[in-house]
Amino acid sequence: MSYINGVGLTSYGKHQGSSSLDLMSKAAELAIADAGLKRAEIDGILCGYSTVSPHIMLATVFAEHFGIRPSYAHAVQVGGATGLAMTMLAHHLVDAGVARHVLVVGGENRLTGQSRDASIVALAQVGHPDYEVPLGPTIPAYYGLVASRYMHEYGVTQQDLAEFAVLMRAHALTHPGAQFHDPITVADVMASKPVALPLKLLDCCPVSDGGAAFVVSREATSERRVRVRGCAQAHTHQHVTAAPALSELGAEIAIAKAKAAAGLAISDVRYAAVYDSFTITLAMLLEDLGLAGRGEAAARVRSGYFGRGGEMPLNTHGGLLSYGHCGVGGAMAHLVETHLQMTGRAGNRQVKDASIALLHGDGGVLSSHVSMFLERVR
Amino acid sequence: MSERPADWTRGTEVIRYQVCRNCGAKQYFRRNFCAACGATDRLAENQASGEGTVYAASLVARAATPETRAHVPYNIVLVDTVEGFRMMAHGDKDLAIGDRVMARFVPFAGRVVPYFEKIK
């Protein structure tokens, strides 16, 4: 058994002058306060990585900086799936009695700490060093390849993909911490600069500064009880050249195992938090997870299904596409927003019912997957 | 450990792949063992014909280094070769999924890379 007892999130965008450790500290402080705990009560730390300030022992660097002496600490690296992978590990650690209160933290000054080119070059290294990277691909190109194939097999169009960018922007407009506050239309997405076709600028998440953190504990520390009901991972490949067929990707494997672990079905889910590094990522994952039929996710966006007032509210903070993407913290914002929704604290973004939530993270090029069900316990 | 034969990743205009004589698996990313069955010293080093079919394509318009930026836009493709393995390469800008293609080699960012053209 484990509970998400507290969450912390900075605004995403520019935090000029803040280091990765500063952003991690800010989020950690918020999460610990939210859990009603003191720093000294944190006995486990899991953190992600920083491409701006790489370190072989980031968890202890952070622990010293923040002022904690944990009995368990290390970093975790699974690309975009890192936040949920850490949450899954924290869940198992507290369940096994290894630690009582595990702080899960990620943060990076990825926007102001390095040039955009440096970010793009650093991230492209998830490609194969001999057989892919020399060809000059970028992360958008890896996903552009996947997008071209997905569109070919399932009849998805660029206009369909644009719908996801428009939805995430509409959601971000209602969150003061989001990086973007200008509404966009499908026409704007279509007219935005080509990056790696079929993906255009507005199909891609931005580079951001920001931090996010949670406290995962064996016992609930307040009446706001949000429990990890079940979770699972799947890792089918690293490089897009070695990816399996579209019908055999890891999201379907992870969600099947998570459903079994949680004893839940997709029909039980009331709120969805799904990784959205690119519009194609979100479209594919929604369909792989069973939140929409194959090739039908865009139609569900158009019908309002994934809107705040829809049947399956999705990424109500704006997701990576419009709240922002600061690396490990990026997708952790999805969990923070989910927690706020589940505990009735989402303010003007509050949905009617978020009693059971499904979260899904993806790292690499649909390489690593984590599916997780959270449940509000009354 | 077998000697690594030269191919395009090492500056020679050849595409190579490995076939496992134990289980029959084919692999493009070279290793000293078969990733399917684990066999060692059972790998044949083969030269590919360069013929294949386009599996996916993405035209890169935004590159991140001065060397690659000089080439934009360039089309990155995944090709399923007739020998039965998939590879990443460059290709003509108008290639479509399903096109039958043949490889040649072109200079790119200070190296030589495989480049696929449609078979007329």
pLDDT tens digit string along A105-142? 999 999 999 988 888 888 888 899 999 999 999 999 99
Q: Under an 8 A CB cutoff, do A241 and B62 touch?
A: no
Q: Under an 8 A CB cutoff, do B28 and A241 touch?
A: yes
Q: What is the DSSP letter of A167?
A: H
Task: Give the tokens for residue B22.
Answer: 């134990």
Q: Under an 8 A CB cutoff, do A136 and B78 touch?
A: no
Task: Give the tokens for residue A55.
Answer: 């370190």
Closest residue of chain A to B114, computed from CA coordinates? A135
Query: If DSSP codes are grouped into helix, strand and coil, which group holds residue A7?
Result: strand
Cβ of A197: how many Cβ atoms within 10 Å?
A: 21
The mean pLDDT value of chain A amounts to 97
Q: What burial class does residue A26 get, using C-beta atoms within 10 Å of its C-beta: 0-12 exposed, 13-18 middle, 19+ buried?
A: buried
pLDDT tens string, chain B, 120 residues long: the values are 457 889 999 999 999 999 999 999 999 999 999 999 999 988 999 999 999 999 999 999 999 889 999 999 999 999 999 999 999 999 999 999 999 999 999 999 999 999 999 998
Q: What is the pLDDT of residues A19-46, one digit of tens each?
A: 999 999 999 999 999 999 999 999 999 9
Closest residue of chain B to A136, computed from CA coordinates? B68
Q: Under an 8 A CB cutoff, do B111 and A134 touch?
A: yes
pLDDT computed for residue B2 by the predictor:
57
- Please give the single-letter amino acid code of residue A295: G
Considering only the beta carbons, identify the residue of B61, B68, B87 that sits closest to A197.
B61
pLDDT computed for residue A209 by the predictor:
97
Cα A292 to Cα A358: distance, rounded to the nearest angstrom: 14
Task: Give the tokens for residue B67.
Answer: 């060397």
ipTM of the complex: 0.97
Q: What is the DSSP letter of A323?
A: I
- ∠ Cα B106 B107 B108 (to 5°): 115
Q: Is B11 left (phi over 0), alpha (psi -120 to 50) or beta?
A: left
Cβ of B90: how many Cβ atoms within 10 Å?
A: 22
Interchain CB contact of B113 with A (< 8 Å): yes
Residue A29 host element (H or E): helix A20-34
Chain-centre distance of CA B25, in angstroms?
A: 17
| C-beta separation of A358 from A236 below 8 A | no
Strand partners, A274: A360
Q: State the number of CA atoms in the 13 A half-sphere of B60 facing the CB.
A: 28
**How many contacts (CB atoms, under 8 Å) link A and B?**
107
Chain-centre distance of CA B33, in angstroms?
A: 19
